[in-house]
Structure 1
Amino acid sequence: MNTIKKILVAGFEPFGGEPVNPALEAIKLLNGRQIDGFEIITRSLPVVKGSSITSIINYVEELDPELVLVVGQSLGYVDIAVERVAINIDDFRIKDNEGNQPIDEPIVIGGPDAYWSTLPIKAMVGHMRAGGIPARVSNTAGTFVCNHLFYGLMHALAREGNKRRGGFIHIPYLPEQAVRLAGQPSMALETIVRGLELAIDAALANKQDIKVTGGTLC
């Protein structure tokens, strides 16, 4: 009997005074869905230095997924941003959910300066756009817990020989968040969920990324 292959999609809990996190709300709706013969299994992540990395490593060991995708929210985003690179630095503008606020500290002492996503980021963006979802390649995941976790995940995957692929996506705020923040953009939850489905579909269909521009002028 064939065992169905798994995709791990993890999303962060609320932080920074927000009562909800669109990442967590979106992945709840993805849990158990099947795409191209793979089952999506979702898990929540703490917005906490160290603990977030430990959590994702434990989930990978528990589920043995073929692909790992982490989702986080970003204020001011008008589209879904597929992250290209994680850098080895913690420089938290605000405290995390346990009060940690490291400044200019390496995530992994002696680790590489950066890790590239091993997902086909441009194919994912292109597939989302073709499906009517605003999307783009992002060249920075920030220096807060999102980047912290992204770097920690890629470091762990590299240490096991990159036998599975992984990466990070940032999504906009929900409308219910934007109404409290004058002038800030948002995206409907169903649009976010559809975008993530299309991104995962492209990641499964493309072992190698497509050769199209995804850069910026500055």
Structure 2
Amino acid sequence: MRKLLLTGFEPFGGESINPAVEAVHRLQGRVIGSYEVIGLELPTVFGQSMERLLAGIEETEPEVVIALGQAGGRRGISFERIAVNLSDAAIDDNAGNRPVDVPVVPEGPAAYWTTLPVRRMADRLQVEGIPASLSLSAGTFVCNHLFYGLMHHLAVSGKPIRGGFIHIPYLPEQAERHPGAPSMALEQLVAGLELAIRVMGE
């Protein structure tokens, strides 16, 4: 069975829940298409999140790595196209770090493209009526830090692993505390991610 490593961050920024890790818990252990999903929770901390991800890759030897992150304010599932070599935080991470204008990898390239079939993924979700889009900005917080670090690792290791990052909206219970913020039910998020994983095997 082919392995797909699916990661999600712990809650951060004063939230008590993170839709990313909740989705990971729902999909953990499932066989979707030709992939067995292996779930991994990551700390929302610069550096530590990357260390845990690399350990997870070493432990599981997946063919695909998909990292999930919360993007409050987005209306649908966002398939990130590019990671930039910059950590620049407007808030503290969960360990109190707030880097400003710091490269993720010193002397690394400016950016990396995802190697997931993100356009096909987004198109499939839209056909099924699940809000989805392509995104050209994963931000500069821990999500982008992890995305860039993942793609750099895959590039320099030479391993035939495909990788990328997907942002997901608030859950409805979170949006209640953020007037006007869009949200998506966990069931719809999980259904969209399952479709995206199925596209990987086609």
TM-score by length of 1: 0.91
Q: Which amino acid aligns with 2:188?
A: T
Q: 1:127 and 1:159 mapped to 2: Cα distance?
A: 31
Q: 1:47 and 1:135 mapped to 2: Cα distance?
A: 24
Q: 1:115 and 1:162 mapped to 2: Cα distance?
A: 16
Aligned to 1:213: none
Are 2:9 and 1:6 equivalent residues in the alignment?
A: no
Q: 2:50 and 2:143 mapped to 1: Cα distance?
A: 10
Contact 1:131 1:198 in 2 (8 A): no
Deviations 1:35-55 (A, max 9, x none): 223200101010001001111
Are 2:76 and 1:79 equivalent residues in the alignment?
A: yes
Q: Percent identity?
A: 54
Aligned to 2:138: 141
Aligned to 2:46: 49
- Shift, 1:30, TM fit: 0.2
Deviations 1:152-195 (A, max 9, x none): 00011111114110000000000000011111110000000000
SS of equivalent to 2:89: coil
SS of equivalent to 1:52: helix
Are 2:178 and 1:181 equivalent residues in the alignment?
A: yes
Aligned to 1:99: 96
Q: 1:91 and 1:57 mapped to 2: Cα distance?
A: 22
Alignment RMSD: 0.7
Q: Which of 56, 60, 67 is residue 59 of structure 1 equivalent to?
A: 56
Q: 1:146 and 1:62 mapped to 2: Cα distance?
A: 22
Q: Which runs of 4+ in 1 moved over 6 A?
A: none
1:148-187 aligned at under 5 Å gives the runs 148-187=145-184
Contact 1:123 1:203 in 2 (8 A): no
Contact 2:4 2:35 in 1 (8 A): yes
Q: Which amino acid aligns with 1:100?
A: N
Aligned to 1:33: 30
Q: 2:113 and 2:29 mapped to 1: Cα distance?
A: 28
Deviations 1:51-75 (A, max 9, x none): 0111111000000001000000001
Q: 2:178 and 2:37 mapped to 1: Cα distance?
A: 32
Q: 1:66 and 1:91 mapped to 2: Cα distance?
A: 30
Comparing 71-80 with 31-40, greater Cα deviation is found at 31-40
Contact 2:33 2:197 in 1 (8 A): no
Q: Which of 113, 118, 127 is residue 116 of structure 1 equivalent to?
A: 113
Q: 1:61 and 1:110 mapped to 2: Cα distance?
A: 24
Contact 2:81 2:136 in 1 (8 A): yes
Q: 1:76 and 1:22 mapped to 2: Cα distance?
A: 13
Q: Which amino acid aligns with 1:146?
A: C
Contact 1:76 1:172 in 2 (8 A): yes
Q: Which of 190, 195, 198 is residue 193 of structure 1 equivalent to?
A: 190
TM-score by length of 2: 0.98
Comparing 66-75 with 28-37, greater Cα deviation is found at 28-37
Q: 1:192 and 1:162 mapped to 2: Cα distance?
A: 30
- Shift, 1:203, TM fit: 2.0
Q: Which amino acid aligns with 2:100?
A: I
